[in-house]
Amino acid sequence: MSSKFLIAALAATAATAAPAFVTPAFANHHEETKMIGGAAMYPSKTIVENAVNSADHTTLVAAVKAAGLVDTLNGTGPFTVFAPTNAAFAKLPAGTVDTLLKPENKATLTKVLTYHVVPGKVTAAQLVAKIKADGGKTELTTVAGGKLTASLMGDTVMLTDEKGGMAHVTQADVMQKNGVIHVTDAVSLPN
């Protein structure tokens, strides 16, 4: 599958798929600005326009650029992005990030990145309500087609990936013009 086709498929999937717990596009049009990585995240800007300013997300931004996903994540969405920090990427085995950023590994990198994206705008309150309604855990279908399992550990949303790895949402509901970012402390990996 060519990378252009994959990106087009990603954009089409994100534009047409929406989980049952999506808020209307303008329901929260007065969101407050939040700080991430020493930078203000403005609800009037896109996911990429904000992320490029976060000192905590330089690895993620470099990966999004290497995968050719900038235009997609600048698109209308909406998207929910579980955004691993630089420290999260640093937890991966030595050399993993450098290997993923190589041009010959673009398809794998794209799969890993789109595994962190869920179609639609899912707020923390919606996600917690869905977890509770589903008996303590719920599955999220990612843009990559994989599953992330969300559960609660106290008041913290925990994501379990397809390989059994766990990530915690450390900052929720960073509203964007085209969706929402939830900051995580680990990289989630698909099968």
As a whole number of angstroms, the distance between CA 70 and CA 68 comes to: 6
Is residue 68 domain-resident? yes
CATH code of the domain covering residue 57: 2.30.180.10
Residue type, 179: G
The answer on pLDDT for 147 being more than 90 is yes
**Which DSSP letter does residue 104 get?**
G
The answer on pLDDT for 166 being more than 80 is yes
The predicted model gives 129-156 an average pLDDT of 96
The predicted model gives 99-106 an average pLDDT of 94
Triad 83, 189, 148: Cα angle to 5°: 75
Count of domains forming the chain = 1
User: Over the chain, what is the mean pLDDT?
Assistant: 84
Residue 29, pLDDT score: 43
The answer on pLDDT for 23 being more than 60 is no
State the pLDDT confidence band at 36, using cuts at 50, 70 and 90.
confident
Residue 32, pLDDT score: 78
The answer on pLDDT for 28 being more than 70 is no
Is residue 89 domain-resident? yes
State the pLDDT confidence band at 41, using cuts at 50, 70 and 90.
confident
Lowest mean pLDDT among 21-30, 103-112, 126-135: 21-30
Residue 11, pLDDT score: 37
Going by their DSSP bridges, the two strands 34-36 and 147-153 should be labelled as unpaired
The answer on pLDDT for 64 being more than 90 is yes
Write out the residue range of the structural domain in which residue 179 sits.
Answer: 34-184
Residues 158, 161, 164, 166: is their CA dihedral positive or negative? Answer: negative
As a whole number of angstroms, the distance between CA 110 and CA 26 comes to: 29
